[in-house]
A and B are shown apart, each in its own frame.
Chain A
């Protein structure tokens, strides 16, 4: 005791030569920490640049920018309402179509499929996620749009055109492009990632729970509905929100099939625009420093805000679902 008080002995006995030899460790640690902070800076820079780039638009139009549905380069009058509406509406339609598909596929993959088939189909679903978005755009434009124009919309008009309340949904000329077509393409694009999340959370449930429900005589659907779903609720919602975040930011596929019109309306078949498609379409005609470019940047900032908040929610939900799975299993 006395000795150690007056005469410092090496506390770290494992490394007798520590201090005399430079191991390079602090340097490497500094390098990896700096790279990690670099990732934070990239996101920070994206947020900063988009916000600063959009300031002139908010200066020119004030907060009315958010609620104006005009997009007129001739009169230099721009507003965000139409593309924001298009983004939300097409993503919502995409989700309404994608969630049942994804749930059905995940249910099939985890509870119904023969093991061999499950691995093949599971891989096919993941390959669908890997197809580049421009391919979905081309496919949508050349394969989906003609039947939408020739069959789906005329039929929808025939069926619902005279039903009060529903007639507005099917009005308009049959272009084939529009909100519903965009929603369909988006649904196909986001469905694989929702399926993957659902499949993961379904399989992460302890087998004992599933087996005990089967042991009580429950059918496969009852096991899914009353055991698996309640257990994995947070993860499922997180996956759906993740899909929504993806859908709202999707550009190329939507640009092909949305129809390019800055217009807000009830019709599912009316051409519209999303924030991303408007940026892709209008950017080439926006000279640097123009008010139009600033408006596009402001739209970009709005898209960033919407999609980052959505993605943030999904990550929180997924992390919470994972923590729950870890605790219970």
Chain B
């Protein structure tokens, strides 16, 4: 017997109410456990499927040979290099724009109408359907020039990468204490020097995080590349021509009926996912380590 029921009589009605509340609580928390379990189970299932199907295809040929006809023993070398090149160029294009916009929002724009608009638009671009970015680049860079190219793919990826870097740069700059800015200004440094050499330097860890997250995001993008760099089954480092990339290669191979192409699609998928997840884990563990 609980102490409560010893001190005063509990009517049947209020006891049933208490039972009802407890049952409701157990029901809700139970469902909550279930939901969490389902989510973890799905993540586990995805990783397990990738490892089970992808690991057997991991070989040296994959990294040394370009894509080939079914049964010809091709690899994914050109797709891997194509992905690295396009992602790299995308970051080179997107990072300056992203960082400068982030600096504008944190240091110059503050709460002005223009800054609010830019912030809003950047957030919209962050969640914009990536296939639309691909269509857009097709219309402005591919159709007028008459050919698909690695450059077009990079520009499309850069548009996707930029808003991520805008977001993190602004957030990280806002964490820099005002006292540091004041110290710089007190020494007579102009604002741009304070911004670049004090604020950005103080926040560089966080800003790098944004760059890494942007790499992780665009490295796995397929939709914007379908209409821009198109894919290429031959070895090519010429970014003016159509260029292979890992996600597009996976897309082409996964829809095929050939055993060895399927195998390579899974192995490619394993590579992409592991790369993206490792970057994310490093970034997130790094953030937590830096905070404490």
Q: Mark B3-32, 1 if CB is under 8 A from A, else 0.
A: 000000000000000000110110111011
User: Is B105 close to A, CB under 8 A?
Assistant: yes
Residue from A23, A125, A131 having most chain B Cβ neighbours under 10 A: A131
User: Is B183 close to A, CB under 8 A?
Assistant: no
8 Å CB interface, A76-134 against B: 100-105, 107-109, 112-113, 119, 121, 123-128, 130-134
Partner of A42, one of B45, B125, B219: B125
Residue of A nearest to B220 (CB): A132
User: Is B149 close to A, CB under 8 A?
Assistant: no
Asked if B36 and A127 make an inter-chain contact with CB atoms under 8 angstroms apart, the answer reads no
CB distance from B18 to the nearest CB of A (A): 10
Q: Cβ of A36: which chain B residues have Cβ within 8 Å of it?
A: 100-101, 104-105, 109, 114-115, 118
8 Å CB interface, A11-39 against B: 23-25, 27-29, 31-33, 35-39
Asked if A139 and B45 make an inter-chain contact with CB atoms under 8 angstroms apart, the answer reads yes
8 Å CB interface, A278-315 against B: 279-280, 283-284, 288, 296-297, 300, 303-304, 307-308, 311-312, 315
Q: Mark B122-135, 1 if CB is under 8 A from A, else 0.
A: 11110111111101
Partner of A304, one of B33, B50, B53, B129: B129
Residue of A nearest to B144 (CB): A288
Given contacts A31-B100, A35-B101, A139-B46, contact A311 B127 (CB under 8 A): yes
Q: Cβ of A123: which chain B residues have Cβ within 8 Å of it?
A: 281, 284
User: Is A324 close to B, CB under 8 A?
Assistant: no
Q: Cβ of A288: which chain B residues have Cβ within 8 Å of it?
A: 143
Q: Cβ of B90: which chain A residues have Cβ within 8 Å of it?
A: none
Asked if A45 and B36 make an inter-chain contact with CB atoms under 8 angstroms apart, the answer reads no
Asked if A45 and B136 make an inter-chain contact with CB atoms under 8 angstroms apart, the answer reads yes
Contact segment of A66-74, A170-178, A245-253: A245-253
Contact segment of A157-165, A203-211, A214-222: A214-222
Q: Cβ of A168: which chain B residues have Cβ within 8 Å of it?
A: none
CB distance from B53 to the nearest CB of A (A): 8
Q: Cβ of A250: which chain B residues have Cβ within 8 Å of it?
A: 129
Contact segment of B55-63, B69-77, B202-210, B265-273: B265-273
8 Å CB interface, B120-162 against A: 120-125, 127-133, 135-136, 139-140, 143, 159, 162
Q: Cβ of A45: which chain B residues have Cβ within 8 Å of it?
A: 136, 140
* Interface of A: prevailing SS: helix
For the complex, what is the distance from the CA of A141 to the CA of B262, rounded to whole Å? 13
For the complex, what is the distance from the CA of A251 to the CA of B24, rounded to whole Å? 40
User: Is B223 close to A, CB under 8 A?
Assistant: yes
For the complex, what is the distance from the CA of A311 to the CA of B25, rounded to whole Å? 34
8 Å CB interface, B59-114 against A: 96-97, 100-101, 103-105, 107-109, 114
Partner of B40, one of A124, A139, A303, A308: A124
Residue of A nearest to B114 (CB): A36
CB distance from B20 to the nearest CB of A (A): 11
Residue from B24, B27, B140, B222 having most chain A Cβ neighbours under 10 A: B222
Asked if A131 and B127 make an inter-chain contact with CB atoms under 8 angstroms apart, the answer reads no
CB distance from A127 to the nearest CB of B (A): 6
Residue from A29, A43, A132 having most chain B Cβ neighbours under 10 A: A132
User: Is A40 close to B, CB under 8 A?
Assistant: yes
Partner of A35, one of B35, B104, B227: B104
Q: Cβ of A186: which chain B residues have Cβ within 8 Å of it?
A: none
For the complex, what is the distance from the CA of A134 to the CA of B50, rounded to whole Å? 12
Asked if A138 and B269 make an inter-chain contact with CB atoms under 8 angstroms apart, the answer reads yes
User: Is B175 close to A, CB under 8 A?
Assistant: no
For the complex, what is the distance from the CA of A49 to the CA of B39, rounded to whole Å? 39
Q: Mark A221-235, 1 if CB is under 8 A from B, else 0.
A: 110110000000000
8 Å CB interface, A237-257 against B: 242, 245-246, 248-252, 256
Residue from A39, A304, A311 having most chain B Cβ neighbours under 10 A: A39
Partner of A39, one of B121, B226, B272, B276: B121
Asked if B129 and A249 make an inter-chain contact with CB atoms under 8 angstroms apart, the answer reads yes
Residue of B nearest to A132 (CB): B220
Q: Could you jot down 24 A-B contacts, CB within 8 Å?
A: A29-B108, A39-B122, A39-B163, A50-B139, A101-B35, A104-B33, A107-B28, A107-B29, A121-B40, A125-B43, A126-B280, A130-B217, A133-B223, A135-B50, A135-B269, A137-B254, A188-B42, A195-B39, A220-B29, A221-B27, A249-B132, A276-B223, A300-B132, A311-B123
Taking A219-B21, A252-B247 as given, write out 7 further A-B residue pairs in contact, using a Cβ cutoff of 8 Å, ordered by the A residue number.
A39-B166, A53-B139, A105-B39, A131-B220, A133-B221, A221-B29, A304-B128
Can you list the 5 inter-chain pairs with the closest CB atoms, starting with the nearest?
A249-B129, A132-B220, A104-B35, A28-B192, A23-B190
Residues of chain A having any CB pair with chain B under 8 Å: 23-25, 27-29, 31-33, 35-40, 42-43, 45-46, 49-50, 53, 100-105, 107-109, 112-113, 119, 121, 123-128, 130-139, 141-143, 188, 191, 195, 219-222, 224-225, 242, 245-246, 248-252, 256, 276, 279-280, 283-284, 288, 296-297, 300, 303-304, 307-308, 311-312, 315
